[in-house]
Homo-oligomer: A and B are copies of this chain.
Amino acid sequence: MTQKKPSLAIGMIGHAFMGAAHSQAWRTAPHFFDLPLDPAMRVVCGRDPARTAAAAERLGWAESATSWREVIGRDDVDLVDICTPGDTHAEIAIAALEAGKHVLCEKPLANTVAEAEEMASAADRAAVHGVRAMVGFTYRRVPAIVLARRLVADGRLGEIRHVRAHYLQDWLADPDAPLSWRLDKDQAGSGALGDIGAHVVDLTQFVLGEQIREVSGQLETFVKERPVASGAAGLTGGTTGSERGAVTVDDAAVFLARFAGGALGVFEATRFATGRKNAIRIEINGAKGSLSFDFEDMNVLHFHDASADDLEAGFRRIVVTEPGHPYIAAWWPPGHGLGYEHGFTHQVVDLIGALGAGEEPTPTFADGLRVQRVLAAVETSSDTRSWQEIPA
């Protein structure tokens, strides 16, 4: 440690919920993991100067700025971390890549397939020059999910027959919950589908190592109008008055899917599952075994090995906190579980690791585009009441 590591200077665009999570990751990763580059939290960018300056202090950034273009133009910024709403991703990311900055972009990659395609192209062009782009599907970094992927890849489940995946929240179940940018199609692109459905699409494709080939789905907006929030907006907005505005995104999305290998998928993403707060549930059945995961108990993976003696077979509750489990050696002793934010730290660790090794970090923008195509196919399917194929 006597030799100084090369630095990696970060400029972060946006400082709300995701900005806070990313900041905690940048701050924390170097203290637990041996990284090839030393991240420096150079500058955070937001619209409001005073609020951005306060965020810089609170979140640990050296400076604040109000122009993202200025940030990506700075020589002392190596990587741009995009934590803004989806409608701004394409413009910022493409510009940053063209400016020779590595990019970490929050999911969903973009609000439309067209934008995502442009972003993937930009990423390809940038890669030629060793400039890297990654999309932020952090739940891939939950140790139990990585273990799940390994078990599937090792053939422990055999041929996969069923995937059932839910992402259940309930923060809109109350019809008087206020409007926020997340309920505005212009900013958010879609509702539950893109915000949380994107995660289970990515997670299941990641765990299976296979793409979804076709879908048949249905979107629904249960509550068409909501009170307009006045003042600052957090996840659930500020105070509300008598004014009501239209909800222009879906409250819930359900769809059937067929994976490339033939497995049947059943997906559900909703903000109306009363009593479920952040339940990402994935269950996979194969010819030789099964897996079950629920983010409400995120340090656990349930694994059924059908090759075991019938009389002793059963779903094993694997507490994924052993030193040999993914990412765990850097943290705490067995049974001392991780939390939500650790996925973001692992994301930063993997990203810096790839940059240090000169490798392409994953998920790539091309991976993000694939997710976007699935989401778009679900929307079209809902509109046309038909099955839709996803281009490979």
Q: Which A residues lie at the B interface, using CB under 8 A?
A: 1, 17, 21, 23-24, 27-28, 31, 54, 57-60, 147, 157, 161-162, 164, 166, 168-171, 173-175, 216-218, 220, 222, 235-236, 252, 254-256, 258, 262, 264, 266, 268, 270, 272-279, 285-290, 295-299, 302-306, 310-319, 321-322, 324-325, 332-342, 385-387
Contacts and interface: CB of A to CB of B under 8 A. Distances in A.
A171 B338 contact: no
A147 to B, nearest CB: 7
A169 B335 contact: yes
Copies of this protein chain in the complex: 4
Contact of A272 (B147, B161, B341): B161
Given A173-B287, A216-B216, A338-B339, 9 more contacts: A24-B28, A274-B306, A295-B335, A302-B317, A310-B324, A311-B322, A311-B324, A336-B341, A385-B386
A254 B262 CA distance: 14
Contacts of A1: 54, 57-58
Contacts of A339: 336-339, 341-342
17 contacts: A17-B332, A161-B222, A161-B272, A161-B274, A164-B268, A170-B285, A173-B287, A216-B216, A216-B218, A252-B264, A270-B285, A273-B285, A275-B306, A276-B285, A278-B337, A314-B317, A339-B342
